[in-house]
Amino acid sequence: MGAQFWSAFIPCQANLTVVTDDVRFTLEQVDLIKNIVRAYPDTFELATSTHDIHRIFKSGKIASLIGLEGSHQVDNSLGNLRMLYELGARYMTLTHVCHSPWADSCSMPPVHNGLTEFGEVFIGEMNRIGMMVDISHVSHDTMRHVLRVSKAPVIFSHSSAYTVCPQPRNVPDDVLKTLSEKDGIVMVNFWPFITACAENATISQVADHIEHIAKVAGPKHVGFGSDFDGITSTPEGLEDVSKYPDLVAELLRRGFSDKDVEGVVGRNLLRVFGKVEEVKQQLRYLPPAEDKLFLERSCAVGA
């Protein structure tokens, strides 16, 4: 393991108007991640850039990055988004299993049919500050909408191929083709439910998803997105990161080149992250976005 993302995750509320403590709990998650990294300085070091990842990898430590799994964790605030970036968060998933007030999740009937106007502003601000836009968990229409408006490549932090397993969490072929044109990446999820559409899966079925994405989008647009910290079961033969070499061996057996595999295990994500950093530099002249999203919170009064 050379680098990993720690997921600062808070479950979402189905009611978009309810007042929550999500920002506070997210800050506590970020604090916990930083405390873990501090507690094991010989193993981990916090990374916030591609330069950090390369430097930490050369030192023999694991580069530790922070991701946010749902925009509910910033309470739809551009200011909160910017502050969490300053604290080290380098990607944010736009939704979890609930809609945000400006983007549809794949887990509920659509409300916005993609992004709202404020959602487009939010994507623009993520581009401006250099935070990777993660479109795992979003609806297919939201995927397409984000790919139209984002100035930087986007990621799927833990999704798989819809053609191989037709589960709403997974990425359809038309989106894979657009993702390739936009130079993004799908980090393949290992959860059997979206790998095999069943309770159990094998390492070979995970490789099926990687192979399909590589055929449709190209081998530069796929990676490992295990979701080990969020799934309830794992494929047979792929129980933890110590099994990664076996997955690499399976890809080589299927005809992936050494260069292809180097990309899948890390270089592809580093390329995408680097391009997000380049877009940040290109947009540095822009002022912070100050748009507000006003929600009716009256139903939560007295709760």
Contacts of 205-209 with CB under 8 Å at 24 or more apart are 205/164, 205/235, 206/235, 206/238, 206/247, 207/247, 207/250, 207/251, 207/254, 208/161, 208/164, 209/160, 209/161, 209/164, 209/165
Task: Please report whether residue 298 resides in a domain.
Answer: no
Q: What pLDDT is stored for residue 69 in this prediction? A: 93
Q: For 114-123, what is each residue's pLDDT tens digit?
A: 999 999 999 9
Total domains in the fold of the chain: 1
Quick check: 240 pLDDT over 50? yes
**Taking Cα atoms as reference points, which of 31, 67, 35, 61 lies closest to residue 48?**
67
Residue 250 near residue 204 (C-beta atoms within 8 A): yes
Average pLDDT value over all residues in the chain? 94
- pTM summary value: 0.94
Task: Please report whether residue 112 resides in a domain.
Answer: yes
| In the chain, % of residues over pLDDT 70 | 97
Q: What is the mean pLDDT of residues 282-294?
A: 93
* Higher pLDDT, residue 10 or 49: 49
Q: What pLDDT is stored for residue 297 in this prediction? A: 66
Quick check: 298 pLDDT over 60? no
Task: Please report whether residue 302 resides in a domain.
Answer: no
Which of 87-96, 209-218, 235-244, 294-303 shows the lowest mean pLDDT across its residues? 294-303
Q: What pLDDT is stored for residue 253 in this prediction? A: 97
Task: Please report whether residue 107 resides in a domain.
Answer: yes
Task: Determine the Cα–Cα distance for residues 210 and 205; give it in Å rounded to an integer.
Answer: 9
Task: Please report whether residue 219 resides in a domain.
Answer: yes
* Residue 19 pLDDT class (50, 70, 90 cuts): confident
Task: Please report whether residue 297 resides in a domain.
Answer: no
* Residue 136 pLDDT class (50, 70, 90 cuts): very high
Task: Please report whether residue 110 resides in a domain.
Answer: yes
Q: What pLDDT is stored for residue 232 in this prediction? A: 87
Which residue(s) pair with 132 in the sheet?
91
Q: What pLDDT is stored for residue 224 in this prediction? A: 96
Quick check: 286 pLDDT over 80? yes
Which residues form the domain of 138?
3-12+21-286
Whichever domain contains 239, its CATH number is 3.20.20.140
On the CB side of 88, how many CA atoms lie within 13 Å of its CA? 21
Q: What pLDDT is stored for residue 195 in this prediction? A: 95
* Residue 223 pLDDT class (50, 70, 90 cuts): very high
Task: Please report whether residue 292 resides in a domain.
Answer: no
Quick check: 230 pLDDT over 60? yes
